[in-house]
Amino acid sequence: MVNLIINEWVKHFRKAGTYVMIGLILLVVIGVGALEKYEEIKNPTFNPDWKEELQQQIADDKKFLEENKNDNIDSMTERNIAINEYRLENNLPPSPEKNIWSFVYDANMAVELAGLFTIIIAAGIVASEFSGGTIKLLLVRPISRSKILLSKYITVVLYGVFYLAIIYVFSCILGAILFGMPNSDVPHLAYVDGQVVERNMGIYLIGLYLLNSINLLMIATMAFMISAVFRNSSLALGISLFLFFIGSSVTYILSSYFDWVKYILFANTDLSVYTDGGPMVDSMTLGFSITMLIIYFIAFHALAFGIFKKRDVSA
């Protein structure tokens, strides 16, 4: 099994495209860093009057809350008020100077790019063996088809983790160089069950990266399934990227009209709503979302493995 994963890994690392992908990810992180450094030099962010500003903000939010009655927006506003009040009580300015953590937080937009590349790999990893004809030489080995497919899936997941690690580690290094470590401890403030809690920033960020990548993992799994079932990488790539980019926004729009939206994959992929803010549909809970994710996950794999094992290979 380990040998199979090494094989897959080698096949990808001998391709020029893999290095282009890594290069692009690094470039995006560097780009974000350069922009923020430029901003910082141009207008220093620290505002000595932050307490007054926050009080004004809280007053505005409270007024807004009384005038509007919309569940989704309300929960957001309540959360903002709570966090801002907490900041006033504990003397925690909202935007301290840029530091390594704020940069790592901003760099997490590169996770989208990592997702994109992981989906590209997932879409091609089975289909390309069929289109190249190499599937024949791969399947006449003393290794069951399930093991071969599983090794490919594990490779996809490893690639995703690999890209995430690159972003996290690289943005930590770059952030430390460009902005330095924070002077004092900067906790992350989360709003849970009407309470504001302080969290360690480094761990919060790793958690944020992993939560962000659930969406990535599910769509990569779907791309992998389509690739294994239809043996067509363009189809797998097309459908998956389409859903990757617009899936959550369409689901979000639908969620204000229909209740069944909660059964859609994309309503459940963002688990961070349960720690910061509220879910799309009020009746959803963390347990519900995890159950839905597991059901989708198993369904994708049942399809991929079931069909791949039975298929007559005539490529």
Rule CB under 8 A: which residues touch other proteins?
3-4, 6-7, 10-11, 14-15, 132-134, 136-137, 139-144, 310, 312-314
Question: Closer CB to other proteins, residue 149 or residue 164?
Answer: 149
DSSP H helices, 180-232, are 201-230
Distance CA 229, CA 226 (A): 5
Contacts of residue 186, Cβ cutoff 8 Å, sequence gap at least 6:
96, 99, 101, 102, 201
From the CB of 130, what's the least distance to other proteins, in Å?
10
Q: Quick one: three-class SS letters along 154-182?
A: HHHHHHHHHHHHHHHHHHHHHHHHHHCCC
CB nearer to other proteins: give 101 or 130: 130
How far the first Cα of the chain sits from its last, in Å, is 25
Q: How far is the CB of 307 from other proteins (least distance, A)?
A: 13
Whether the Cβ atoms of residue 234 and residue 255 lie closer than 8 Å to each other? no
Nearer to other proteins, 172 or 313 (CB): 313
Dist CA 170 CA 109 (whole Å): 14
CB-wise, 179 or 308, nearer to other proteins? 308
Min dist. Cβ of residue 141 to other proteins (A): 4
Beta carbon of residue 20, minimum distance to other proteins (angstroms, whole number) = 14
Residue 26 CB, nearest distance to other proteins (Å)?
23
Q: Minimal distance in Å, beta carbon 298 to other proteins?
A: 25
The dihedral sign for the CA sequence 17, 23, 25, 28: negative
Is 51 or 141 the residue whose CB approaches other proteins more closely? 141
Residue number, 140 or 181, with CB nearest to other proteins: 140
Distance of CA 264 to the CA centre of its chain: 17
Name the residue nearer to other proteins (CB basis): 57 or 128.
128
* Cβ atoms of 110 and 29 closer than 8 Å: yes
Minimum distance between the CB of residue 140 and other proteins, rounded to whole angstroms?
5
The number of C-alpha atoms within 13 Å of 299 and in the hemisphere containing its C-beta is 10
Report in angstroms how near the CB of residue 9 gets to other proteins at its nearest: 11
Return the axis-axis angle of helices 16-42 and 100-107, rounded to nearest 10°. Answer: 130
Residue 211, φ and ψ in degrees, nearest 5: -65, -40
At 109, phi and psi to the nearest 5? -70, -20
| Nearer residue to other proteins within complex by CB, 54 or 143 | 143
Place of tokens 């004004």: 56
The CB-of-233 to other proteins minimum distance in angstroms stands at: 16
Of 196, 170, 166, which Cα lies nearest the Cα of 22? 166
Q: Which is nearer to other proteins, 11 or 301 (CB)?
A: 11
- d(CA 99, CA 101) in angstroms, rounded, equals 5
